Amino acid sequence: MSAERLVITGMGAITPLGLNVADYWKNLVGGICGIGPIDCCDVSALPVRMAAQVRGFDAGRLPRAVQRASSPFMQYAFAAAEQALGESGLHVAHCPERVGVVMGTAMGGVSLTAQTQTAFDGGRPRVSPCFVPASIGNMAAAHVAITYGMRGPGLTVNTACSAGGDALMLAAMLLLTGEADAVLAAGGESILCPVVISSLAQAKALSRHNDDPQHACRPFDLGRDGFVIGEGGGAILLETESHALARGARIRAVLAGWGNTMDGYHITAPCPDGQGAAACMRKALQRAGLAPADIGYINAHGTSTVLGDKAETLAIKSVFGGRGEAPPVSSTKGATGHLMGAGGLTEVITCIKALEEGLLPPTLNLETPDPDCDLDYVPNVARTACIRAAMSNSLGFGGQNSSIIVSSYSG
């Protein structure tokens, strides 16, 4: 096992706040909210009619093969991957067998499946031959590999809302075991269809503030009533330091640590005391060789659910201490909604930008603090801060926990 550092050389983001990292970050720290009424499908009969949609995305600019046999989650992941690879300057053709891709998604092509089934039941029994490849989760990674000629390892991880963080962890493991020199970690999600919205609404997981979408997602606020669905894609190119330096790459940050645990508690609810998430954060700190005091910012999972926000707060306090000891924490889901598999990547990108810019993004709509959520959540307005390391948490259904630590690079 190599002890070589792993570095980040490229990033890409397709989000409800912007279609690249620069626009996403500008709007995020500017306090812009990407949540609004759903207009991509008919939700008039549903109790939840709002989401954070990707707007202005032109799938027509993607390679024709990708257009023909892909669904939106793949398209968002592919476009984010294009950005990350372009920024990195990596020439895959120089050694294609040493470049891999790991994809994370929670629900894959579920929206296309629902749409196709509706058409099938409505009297259109002929289904496109592209339906299966456009629906299955691994095809997002395959499209990237085919387009760029990657012939290294390829994996797709489906660990619910922690899938994006887990994709980055798997990319790191491939590098450390010598399977590749560079691995693209990507995530994509687009689940906006009546069947998914109805199911999550009946489970009482979603906010129902349809009359005020901009203030519906309220992480850590006393008035929170559920999360808001988001969609998008994120991508990070990870390399061994020696490989990046040998080709003269610009290094954005170091992937310092990661953790993965399971609660072993419930299929949807988090363990109330947060100990599974706490163990995950401790694993990430141990891998990074850092103490809790070294972390300057935590991007929380913070979905705006009553149980989830409280459990994550308890987990953070268990590891970092109370308000006087724990670093500033914020949830960016008040702005982006819950991007699920893609969020694990876009939120790590958020941490990298916080390191680079010395600016912590706010938790939107935190107006009446919940007494059970008593940390510093950077309410409503971005804050300047000079930090050297940051942590991103992603906590998914089934008790899946992912924690990623990134740190500033110094040669």
- CATH fold for domain 257-407: Peroxisomal Thiolase; Chain A, domain 1 (3.40.47)
Q: How far apart are CA 365 and CA 368, in angstroms?
A: 9
Catalytic annotation present for 301: yes
Buried b (16+ CB within 10 A) or exposed e, 106-123: bbbbbbbbbbbeeeeeee
The stretch 22-46 carries a mean pLDDT of 97
What are the boundaries of each domain within the chain?
6-246, 257-407
The stretch 202-207 carries a mean pLDDT of 96
Strands across the sheet containing 389-396:
154-157, 99-104, 182-189, 232-240, 6-14, 253-262, 400-407, 389-396, 297-299, 329-330
Q: How much of the chain, in percent, has pLDDT values that exceed 90?
A: 95
Tell me the three state secondary structure of residue 232: strand
Q: Which of 260, 279, 303 is nearest to 401 (CA)?
A: 260
The stretch 134-150 carries a mean pLDDT of 96
Q: How far is CA 195 from the centre of its chain?
A: 23
Q: What share of the chain is helix, strand, coil (3-state, %, to 5)?
A: 40, 20, 40
Residue 365 confidence class, pLDDT cut points 50, 70, 90: very high
Q: State how beta strands 253-262 and 6-14 pair.
A: antiparallel
* Residue of 217, 301, 351, 373 with catalytic role: 301
Q: How far apart are CA 119 and CA 287, in angstroms?
A: 49
* Residue of 209, 338, 351, 373 with catalytic role: 338
The answer to whether the 6-246 and 257-407 domains have the same CATH topology is yes
| pLDDT for position 358 | 98
| pLDDT for position 411 | 79
Q: Model confidence over 225-252: pLDDT tens digits? A: 999 999 999 999 999 999 999 999 999 9
Helical residues (DSSP H) of 184-229, grouped into ranges: 194-202
The stretch 326-336 carries a mean pLDDT of 98
Residue 2 confidence class, pLDDT cut points 50, 70, 90: very low
Q: Are 193 and 305 in contact (CB under 8 A)?
A: no
Write out the two tokens for 27.
């709007």
Q: State how beta strands 329-330 and 297-299 pair.
A: parallel
* Residue of 161, 217, 280, 351 with catalytic role: 161
Q: Are 400 and 158 in contact (CB under 8 A)?
A: no
Judge if pTM exceeds 0.95: yes
Q: How far apart are CA 137 and CA 311, in angstroms?
A: 30
Catalytic annotation present for 95: no
Residue 124 confidence class, pLDDT cut points 50, 70, 90: confident
The stretch 148-165 carries a mean pLDDT of 98
Q: Considering the chain, what is the average pLDDT of its residues?
A: 96
Q: How far apart are CA 41 and CA 350, in angstroms?
A: 30
Catalytic annotation present for 338: yes
- Residue 183 main-chain phi, psi, to 5 deg: -135, 130
The verdict on domain 6-246 having CATH code 3.90.550.10 is no
pLDDT exceeds 80 at position 3: no
